[in-house]
A and B are shown apart, each in its own frame.
Chain A
Amino acid sequence: MKKELLVAALSRSRASFSKGWYKFSRNPLSVLGLIILFSVILTAIFAPYISPYPEHAGAFTNFRESGLPPSLTHFFGTDSVGRDIFSRVIFGYRFSLVLAVVVLSLAMPSGIILGLIAGYYRRRWIEIVIMRITDIFLAVPPLVLALAITVMLSPNLFNQMMAISLMWWPWYCRLVYSLTTSLRHEYFVREAELTGASKAHILLREILPNCVAPVLTKMTLDAGFVITVGASLSFIGLGVQPPRPGLGTMVADGAKRLPAEWWMAVFPALAIVIVILSFNLVGDGLRDMFAVEEV
């Protein structure tokens, strides 16, 4: 009996998964985005094995090969000290993706929990405290805030992550707050309250699952945006420090040599564009997937 039920449960979840995938895959661009995203992630993970010159990711110089244009030996050409740009871009992805993952895994849970609490305890002091702090953070342009924080601490990848996380949670807080304020009046939330369920149950099991669709969509779109902000900070020297290959740092270095040695700036920039684009395409696909489901 139990086993049959388990089989039934499994086949239901498999059915809902394949239904979701069907909706997602109806948009070919989203599938393309997903493919690119997966290859970027795999490339970043296996960077030492994929890149043709893994040693070029660090403090390596070979002035005899400096400033070479793209060729079959150096797909993206070489930079001013003779390092292979293709290899450095692949390693650069590592920093960008780690940045996105760390920032989102710090900012998202904290924003979500604060948003749930503020939304559920509407018109109580706790809501006022949380939402006014959120407003203060939202009032300052995010890049400026992250800039100020990174300068205040010392500019390195860790501080950059902390700074971006600190400016990112209010967006999740706002999103989840607005969802919660409407969800808490739904009768299923009422019912859980009247049954006597704990606040943790109501917030995390009744309300939160209904926020998943918009939060997940925002998360994919944000991942690209976080990478942009990270690259922007690196561009002005407040992120990954040389000789380590930050994509923003590489664009900044290459920009000095435009337009003659264009490959030094263009390829790292193109790498940023591709990863952001793929995140956005996947985000669009997720939005379509959830939107149809809601109807």
Chain B
Amino acid sequence: MSEEILTVENLKKYFVTKQGTVRAVDKVSFSVKQGETCGLVGESGSGKTTIAHTLVGIYEPTEGRALFKGQNISKVFNQRPKALKKEIRIVFQDPGSSLNPRRSIKQILELPLKVHRICNDSDRVERVMELLRMVELPPEDYMYKSPQVIGGGEKQMVAIARALAPNPSFLVLDEPTSALDVSVQAKIINLLMQLQQNLNLTYLFITHDLSLMRNITNRVVIMYLGKISEVAPTVEFFQNPFHPYTKMLLSSIPTVSDEEENFKPKEVISRGEIASPVNVPSGCSFHLRCPQKMEICSRADPTVVEVEADHLVRCHLFSDGRKPT
């Protein structure tokens, strides 16, 4: 449970556009331990998906690197060795566009098996059926269907089965449930948790749903405008958030009962919106919205400090490595 399977070091990904350079991911470092579910949280435009896409090789990092089991993986997909493509798999956000409407589910699931030579021709059908059973879809009913005729939740199940096809060890889940309705979400989350146990998988779970995060992750990485705000174990994160942005996020969770209401920090009201990543504010990128803004915040960008064991924060309030009194 303690071995680090993925280490991201000072990862930067800039996009050059006509409006200027977009700093989608700016000097991000974190690590994911074997067997855990690491949550990556942030508003839209905070760079979560860019990190996911960089890890699987859709983008090449502008600077910095990512290590997977000690191997440098900061390369685009066509430069990656096949063995690596087999180990790191991704489930995309929109299952509608991630499955080819012109191919049957059987064909879709066979592709990774063929490419990675997982099994020989005669066993392939068996393996496809096994994968479908793994995601709780009866193979006889689904194998020859087109993804067009099945529901969104079922599509995402197929996408998960496809990701699992070559027996990966690391799964990047890019908001796998955000496009689905709530009843289906629960089913998929349960399935993912079950699969993680059975297959000894490590997840990088990207989401903006904090309640979901609380239930399934071991550790949380909070991002704001391409930078890390806070990294903490999930329990610690919900009980004792450090960063003003984290507090703002937590206080924005809608609650049903008073009990829940009392549990979350309430001194922070969310205001403003995330700034444009093309025009990042000077100093700490959060200072425009920060309720605890200090004079230094608009001048200097804080660095990440470890305030408690495993609990990192990037804020001037903690610049001496201690909690402010």
Contact = CB atoms under 8 A, between A and B. Distances in A.
A196 B99 contact: no
Given A12-B145, A194-B58, A195-B112, A188 B85 contact: no
Given A2-B125, A195-B85, A197-B115, A12 B144 contact: yes
B179 to A, nearest CB: 12
B100 interface: yes
B140 A196 contact: no
B267 to A, nearest CB: 41
Interface in A191-217: 191-197, 201, 205-206, 209-210, 212
A196 B168 CA distance: 14
Interface in B81-118: 82, 85-86, 89-90, 92, 94, 97-103, 111-112, 115-116
A197 B101 contact: no
Interface residues of B, number: 31
B98 A188 contact: yes
Contact of B143 (A8, A196, A206, A212): A8
Contacts of A8: 140, 143-144
Category for how many chain A residues contact B? 20 to 34
Interface string A146-157: 000000000000
Contact of A195 (B58, B97, B100, B115): B115
Nearest to A206: B100
B99 to A, nearest CB: 6
Nearest to A199: B78
A49 interface: no
A197 B111 contact: yes
B78 A188 contact: no
Contacts of A9: 143-144
B30 interface: no
A89 B146 CA distance: 45
A210 B101 contact: yes
A194 B77 contact: yes
B56 interface: yes
A193 B78 contact: yes
Contact of B111 (A2, A4, A186, A195): A195
Nearest to A183: B100
11 contacts: A5-B125, A9-B143, A187-B98, A188-B100, A191-B162, A192-B111, A195-B111, A196-B82, A206-B100, A210-B100, A212-B102
